[in-house]
Amino acid sequence: MERLRVAVLGAGTMGHGIAQAAAQAGAEVALRDVEPAAVERGLSGIRRFLEKGVEKGKIMATDRDAALARIRGTTDLASALREADLVIEAVPEKLDLKRRVFAEVVDLAPEGSTLATNTSSLSIAAIAEALPEKDRGRVVGMHFFNPVPIMKLVEVVRGPESSDDSVETALDLARSMGKEPIVVRDAPGFATSRLGVAIGLEAIRMLEEDVASAEDIDRAMVLGYNHPMGPLRLTDLVGLDVRLGIAEYLAKELGPRFEPPALLRRMVEDGHLGQKSGRGFYAWK
């Protein structure tokens, strides 16, 4: 069987994680970003992750080298897409940006290739509207979770026009990565973001109302419900600005139960975005 060729657009945290997981699954991967420095940061992140895996005995050195040999970085969109069987867009969670990317991609990717978007909440149908009507069936959602090489879940989102072939291509890649994919309908927030944001927003409201400390709210979910991490610490890792954006979108689509708490808005305005800024609900080094 011919090796799958994957183009990943966006070399940030999610993009380079997807590229690494695909390469470890045996795919030939082109990792593309608009800036050479962003591409190099993504490739460096992959090298560091794999090296740590070797040091911990979780990855063989030969497997590390083979995976790295299957990844190439580029800023040339046409070069990244030229022979791709599957394109995975992993740019920031902004509808207009994703639509612009897909409008460019459709003219450069091979006819019949599958076009996947790594969105956590945005409408697949709205993204696909950027394409000619005949190409909208090629678009499917592939919602990966951070860190991609470790997290088992991939949420495959079937848009109203997604073809069976596109969905199967996404499922096949996810399974080859050792993931356990689920298939959900193109509804606001899908399954995971809708549930996760609901819990996270309520935890923020509880902190706002001084029900308990951030540590104790998180401890309640870890010890009482077997969650691997509490909702406030998880919000710090995701990014308070990212969670705010998703909540605003869900409030618009699903109603006031997803209205962001004033505390979340205030923290984002103050630049307290979580781990990436050094301060959120917790202090980070």
For 132, the token pair is 């000619």
Q: How many CA atoms lie within 13 A of 226 on its CB side?
A: 0
Residue 5 parent element (H or E): strand 5-9
Average pLDDT over residues 207-230: 97
**In-domain check, residue 285:** no
Q: Which of 158, 185, 212 represents a domain boundary (last residue)?
A: 185
1: pLDDT confidence band, cut at 50, 70 and 90?
very low
Predicted TM-score (pTM) of this structure: 0.89
pLDDT, tens digit, for every residue of 159-179? 999 999 999 999 999 999 999
Do 202 and 133 have their domain in common?
no
Residue 117 has pLDDT above 50, yes or no: yes
Domain stop point among 124, 152, 185? 185
- Specify whether 180 is located in the same domain as 223: no
pLDDT at 157 over 70: yes
133 and 259 together in one domain: no
Model pLDDT for residues 19-78, shown as the tens digit of each residue: 999 999 999 999 999 999 999 999 999 999 999 999 999 999 999 999 999 999 999 999
| Domain boundary residue, one of 157, 185, 213 | 185
The domain in which residue 213 lies consists of: 192-275
Distance linking the first and last C-alpha atoms of the chain: 47
> Distance between CA atoms of 158 and 64, rounded to whole angstroms?
33
96: pLDDT strictly greater than 70: yes
pLDDT digits (tens, 9 = 90+) for 188-214: 999 999 999 999 999 999 999 999 999
The Cα 231–Cα 110 span in angstroms is 41
Judged against a pLDDT cut of 90, whether residue 3 lies above it is answered with no
CA 194 to centroid of chain Cα atoms? 15
Secondary structure class of 264 (helix, strand, coil): helix
Average of per-residue pLDDT values in the chain: 96
Mean pLDDT of 103-117: 95
Residue at 215 is within a domain: yes
Query: Cβ contacts of residue 107 below 8 Å, gap of 6+?
Result: none
Q: Are residues 129 and 225 in the same domain?
A: no
For residue 3, the SS3 value is: coil
Q: What is the pLDDT of residue 146?
A: 85
- pLDDT at 2 > cutoff 80: no
- Contact at 8 Å (CB) between 24 and 149? yes
The whole-angstrom separation of Cα 47 and Cα 263 is 38
* Residues 213 and 176 reside in one and the same domain: no
CATH assignment at residue 270 = 1.10.1040.10
Q: Which two tokens stand for residue 79?
A: 């070069």
